[in-house]
Amino acid sequence: MSDPEPFKIKMVKPLKRLSKEEREERIREAGYNVFKLRSEDVFIDLLTDSGTSAMSDQQVSEMVKTEQAYAGGDSYHALDKTVKEIFGFDRFVIVHQGRAAENVLFSVLLEEGDYVPNNMHFDTTKANTKHKGGEPVDLAVDEAYDPEAIADFKGNMDVKKLERFIEEKGPKNIPVIMLTITNNTGGGQPVSMENIRKVSEVAEQYDIPFFLDACRFAENARFIKEREKGYEDKSIREITREMFSHADGFTFSAKKEGLVNIGGLIGIKDEELHKRCKNLSIIIEGFPTYGGLACRELTAISTGLKEATKDEYQTYRYEQVKHLADSLLEEDIPIIEPVGGHAVFVDAERFLPHIPQTKFPAQALTTELYKESGIRAVELGTSAFGETDEEGDIIPAEMENMRLAIPRRVYTLNQLEYVAGSIKELHEKREDIQGLKRTYAPELLGHFTAEFEPSD
């Protein structure tokens, strides 16, 4: 038996469940894109774990008490103290969310034609790299691309591939090496401490700054504690400090493990680089002591970071995600194994083998799940990561997943059981599910606003 939730529910939001006919109408009106649904039409919302956490009573009460100041507010100093404590960083820049951190950092670091190696780019990181004229390069270990391969650290960077890549392109054309912990795109898979250390050594050898895309750093630390020799008896906080000791900087979306609705950080060790990022962010985000946020948000991030790095919280978090994964595996639903830290990824290629990737099987599965049970998941497949060639033909993505992201401290195990049961029912009638035809998509981050129609 696993430990029960380390909190109790103090406030509730009643949920509405539409009829299947109503949902059919809504998804059609939404162009078969769940991003265009109204959230009130969703019964269980697993679109994202980003900005959807339930806050603690401490976070909320401190927010109310926080004084709003343009410059030098107490909330800034509280966050400064927490960033030092948790990450061991003296210098940071506050921004309004993770992609703003990427925007600021890449605007300062990247020049046209530069390469940015990463284990696997997240969609906004990829888009921001391209937006600044850079070329995102994914160099994850091979098993990261095999949904059936069982390995402890499928998020790892392939260090040999990285070294070869640097030799081939020349370190001068690589302004930063990134490592995403955990690897969201690859299924929330963790990166080992050994890998973080080795990548940092390669970066140092070639004098290239090494940054962590640290959105789910504490979930990554929990995996290290569970799976890596020598870390069994260390706390999440101790492991976190060690992970960040290897990095020259980090980008962070507080919407994940800040346990808040909005916010982001850039941590930077180098004084000069910090100054450049800070000065740019004054122009595009805000004065350094609030960074595009209300001061109350800084207070909530500061407390949220402390709560997210508690061992008992991380144990609860992992058990919840694993419970959903195990329920699906019991029914032989194909998912990425072993399950990652924040979501269960259903492999749509194996779920719907009769739909070719050019007909968006993961998108089709996502819209069917909403239609049948009111659950909103998200496509991370050819709509999100595919490309189009010069003739306008679709180049399929490497993987074709439907992601069920679990918001933090929001849903009960019973609700997750409902999710598992609904997917099982869909699986039983999977042969009736048809592919989709894309009728519209902008060039970058097209999946957010893409439109589809049934293909036959």
Ligand X SMILES: *Cc1c(COP(=O)(O)O)cnc(C)c1O
Q: At closest approach, how far in Å is the CB of 121 from ligand X?
A: 8
CB of 258 to ligand X, least distance (A): 10
Nearest in space to 433 (alpha carbons), one of 362, 328, 334, 331: 362
Region near ligand X per CB under 6 A, out of 95-103, 224-232, 311-319, 439-447: 95-103
Which positions from 171 to 210 touch ligand X by CB under 6 A, shown as an x/- string?
A: ---------x---x--------------------------
Segment contacting ligand X by CB under 6 A, of 122-130, 159-167, 312-320, 388-396:
122-130
Residue whose CB is less far from ligand X, 9 or 284: 284
Least separation, in Å, of the C-beta of 197 and ligand X? 20
Q: Which residue is nearest to ligand X (CB)?
A: 98
Asked if 448 contacts 353 with a C-beta cutoff of 8 angstroms, the reply is: no
Q: Give DSSP secondary structure letters for 49-110.
A: SSS-PPPPHHHHHHHHHPPP-SSS-HHHHHHHHHHHHHH--S-EEEESSHHHHHHHHHHHH-
- Among 45, 62, 114, 213, contact with ligand X (rule: CB under 6 A): 213
Q: 125, 192, 363, 373: which one contacts ligand X (CB under 6 A)?
A: 125
Of the candidate residues 99, 132, 278, 359, the single one contacting ligand X (CB under 6 A): 99
Give the chain's length.
Answer: 456
The smaller minimum CB distance to ligand X, of residues 206 and 448, is found at 448
Least Cβ distance, residue 368 to ligand X (angstroms): 25
Closest CA to 50 of 348, 408, 399: 408
Contacts of 379 (CB under 8 A, 6+ apart): 34, 360, 362, 363, 365, 366, 401, 402, 403, 447
Among residue numbers 410 through 449, which ones bind ligand X (CB under 6 A)? Answer: none
SS3 content of the chain, % helix, strand, coil (to 5): 45, 15, 40
Show the binding pattern over residues 249-288: x = contacts ligand X (CB under 6 A), - = does not: ----x-x--------x------------------------
Choices 121-129, 167-175, 357-365, 383-391 (CB under 6 A): range interacting with ligand X: 121-129
Closest distance to ligand X from the beta carbon of 266 (Å): 12
User: For residues 296 and 313, is the Cβ–Cβ distance under 8 A?
Assistant: no
3-state secondary structure 214-281: CCCHHHHHHHHHHHCCCCCCCCHHHHHHHHHHCCCEEEEECCCCCCCCCCEEEEECCHHHHHHHHHHH
Q: Which is nearer to ligand X, 364 or 405 (CB)?
A: 405
CB of 190 to ligand X, least distance (A): 13
Which of 118, 124, 220, 383 is the binder for ligand X (CB under 6 A)? 124
Q: Tell me which residue has tokens 């419970």.
A: 323
C-beta of residue 102 within 8 angstroms of C-beta of residue 124: yes
> Structure tokens of 315?
């144990």
The dihedrals phi and psi of 250, each to the nearest 5 degrees, come to -155, 155
Beta carbon of residue 188, minimum distance to ligand X (angstroms, whole number): 9
Residues 34-73 that bind ligand X (CB under 6 A): 50
Is 179:210 a contact under the CB 8 Å cutoff?
Answer: yes
Which one, 136 or 374, has the nearer CB to ligand X? Answer: 136
For residue 24, count CB atoms less than 10 angstroms from its CB and return exposed for 0-12, middle for 13-18, buried for 19 or more: middle
CA 454 – CA 456 distance, rounded (Å): 6
299 binds ligand X, rule: CB under 6 A: no
Nearer to ligand X by Cβ, of 344 and 394: the residue is: 344
Residue 144 CB, nearest approach to ligand X (Å):
14
Q: 212 to each of 85, 150, 197, 296, 400, how far by Cα in Å? A: 17, 24, 12, 26, 25
How far from the centroid of its chain's Cα atoms is residue 113's Cα? 26
Please give the structure tokens belonging to residue 425.
């029912």
| From 15-23, 97-105, 241-249, 281-289, span contacting ligand X (CB under 6 A) | 97-105
Residue 179 CB, nearest distance to ligand X (Å)? 10
Give the residues lining the site for ligand X (CB under 6 A): 50, 97-99, 122, 124-125, 180, 184, 213, 215, 253, 255, 264
